[in-house]
A and B are shown apart, each in its own frame.
Chain A
Amino acid sequence: DSGVTQTPKHLITATGQRVTLRCSPRSGDLSVYWYQQSLDQGLQFLIHYYNGEERAKGNILERFSAQQFPDLHSELNLSSLELGDSALYFCASSVATSTDTQYFGPGTRLTVL
């Protein structure tokens, strides 16, 4: 158990819908990262927040957005869902910067029908 929690574990929804994925970092970690894992693209970095502020962005679609709240938990919002958004979404956390070890949560498996 990494100490990073993610909810829900599984999510099944329809095209065009909007979903919210939630992540709680390890106690004391200030950085939260979101990654997407799909069969064709592998593990891709989406976005990094540090202490509530966005610090780095990857190939995150405009239909996706994220935020980190004052209690340091983070949410990833996915809207206008398409079939190709079906993937495993991971949250990771680290103490401070991305030069620290990143600990991953169990992931949310999103299926878009």
Chain B
Amino acid sequence: SQQGEEDPQALSIQEGENATMNCSYKTSINNLQWYRQNSGRGLVHLILIRSNEREKHSGRLRVTLDTSKKSSSLLITASRAADTASYFCATGGNAGGTSYGKLTFGQGTILTVHP
């Protein structure tokens, strides 16, 4: 079953613009991770944010987490054509919970960046 719902399902922008993707989840979490997947290839880990963190940065990526709203967002600034990919959020559960020991993925956002 899918824990997360991602919004939008697809996003099309021009190079240089910012891209924002949102993820909502249902149960309490230990952490939330964002991944990128290029056209049916492997998943590349982008960033992990823990439940006691509110914001994290990595290069052009900015992730926020609002545990009260059970939501997260991924912002890619100054996008490039090479950022074209599917982006997934995945939640990790707490020890002792039913979600511990696995990542539960959303359906993903397909990002297309036009040169």
| Size class of the A contact interface (CB-based, 8 Å) | 20 to 34
Q: Count chain B residues whose beta carbon lies closer than 8 angstroms to a beta carbon of A.
A: 29
Q: Which residues of A contact B14 (CB under 8 A)?
A: none
User: Looking across the interface, which residue of chain A has its beta carbon closest to that of B42?
Assistant: A106
Given A99-B92, A101-B45, A107-B41, 9 more pairs with CB closer than 8 A: A42-B105, A43-B88, A45-B104, A58-B102, A98-B92, A98-B93, A99-B30, A102-B103, A106-B42
Binding site for A on B (CB under 8 A): 1-2, 30-31, 33, 35, 40-45, 48, 50, 88, 90, 92-95, 100-108
How far, in whole Å, are A90 and B105 apart by their CA atoms in the complex?
13
Which of A35, A58, A104: most chain B CB closer than 10 A? A104
Q: Which of A45, A90, A97 contacts B43 (CB 8 A)?
A: A90
Least CB distance, B36 to chain A, in whole angstroms:
11
Asked if B100 contacts A106 (CB within 8 A), the reply is: no
Please tell me which one of the listed residues B31, B44, B104, B108 contacts residue A99 in the complex, with CB atoms under 8 A apart: B31
